[in-house]
Amino acid sequence: MFHPVAQGRIFLRRAALFTGLIEDRGKVISRSGSSLTIGTELYKTASPGDSVAVDGSCLTVSSIGSRSLSFHCSPETVSRTIISGYYPGTDVNLERPLKFSDGLHGHIVTGHVDSTAAVLKVKRSPEGMTVWISCSGKNYPLLVEKGSIAVSGISLTVASLVPDRFSVVLIPETLQRTTAGNWKPGSHVNLEYDIIGKYVLKQTDAVIGNRRLRDYLEQ
């Protein structure tokens, strides 16, 4: 898929996969229309056209500044993610794509955000932090207790769930290396459900649908 960027250039966007292990905490410098600029140490190794997951949303680097990266954000991306709520100073999670030589230490994350959600409750302790996050009814079947989910790009494990919400537990290391330490009731996060679970659910629905159709035709 061709992806337009600043300065009239066009890059061929390459498929990218992530693992949900955050490499850097960036800080939003500016956001205007479709343009987003983030201060980050990843500028040292980035090139125009590279993919970077910003809070779990796969964006393409359009230009590189002094200690910063700029991205083009399509209207679809802005509408489906928390990008519209960014302002100068917002902390964001950043991750570069998985390389074939890398180990898969988190889980497979595509960078295609499924929905946004609200943080409902936060409980801190010396061992870390438990966070309850809202979940819409249509996405609830994609959640599995002890299964994986990407929350604003962070690979986390579903600790427990009820029909309209689920919880995750974050250890101190994760709180230090990511923006999760900033979460509080009312905060909004990006959610990407496990890609394997999405395919399994889709195929299961197709099988059930075909079976119902066959039973109907045989009546």
- Residue environment code for 170-182, b if the CB has 16+ CB neighbours within 10 A, otherwise e: beeebbebbbbbe
| Exposure on the CB side of residue 17, measured as CA atoms within 13 A | 14
Alpha-carbon span 109 to 103, nearest angstrom:
14
pLDDT band at 200 (very low <50, low <70, confident <90, very high): confident
Q: Give the pLDDT of residue 138.
A: 84
Q: Residue 217 pLDDT more than 60?
A: no
Alpha-carbon span 75 to 94, nearest angstrom:
20
DSSP structure string for 1-65: -EEE-GGG-EEEPPP--B-S---EEEEEEEEETTEEEEE-GGGGT--TT-EEEETTEEEEEEEEE
% of residues, the chain, pLDDT over 70: 81
Tokens of 177: 């290396």
pLDDT band at 136 (very low <50, low <70, confident <90, very high): confident
pLDDT band at 9 (very low <50, low <70, confident <90, very high): very low
Q: Which fold has domain 115-202?
A: Elongation Factor Tu (Ef-tu); domain 3 (2.40.30)
> Given 3-state DSSP classes, what are the helix, strand and coil percentages for the chain, each rounded to the nearest 5?
25, 40, 35
Domain ranges of the chain: 2-95, 115-202
CATH class, 2-95 region: mainly beta
Predicted TM-score (pTM) of the model is 0.84
In angstroms, how far is CA 37 from the centroid of its own chain? 18
The mean pLDDT value of the chain amounts to 87
Closest-CA residue to 86 (of 122, 41, 32)? 32
Closest-CA residue to 194 (of 109, 136, 111, 119)? 109
Q: Give the pLDDT of residue 201.
A: 73
Q: Is 73 helix (H, G, I), strand (E, B) or coil?
A: coil
Q: Do domains 2-95 and 115-202 have the same CATH topology?
A: yes
Q: Give the pLDDT of residue 209.
A: 57
| Exposure on the CB side of residue 55, measured as CA atoms within 13 A | 29
Q: Give the pLDDT of residue 29.
A: 98
DSSP structure string for 104-138: --S--B-S---EEEEEEEEEEETTEEEEEEE--TT
Q: Residue 142 pLDDT more than 50?
A: yes
In degrees, rounded to 5, the angle at the alpha carbon of residue 202 between the alpha carbons of residues 13 and 2 is 10
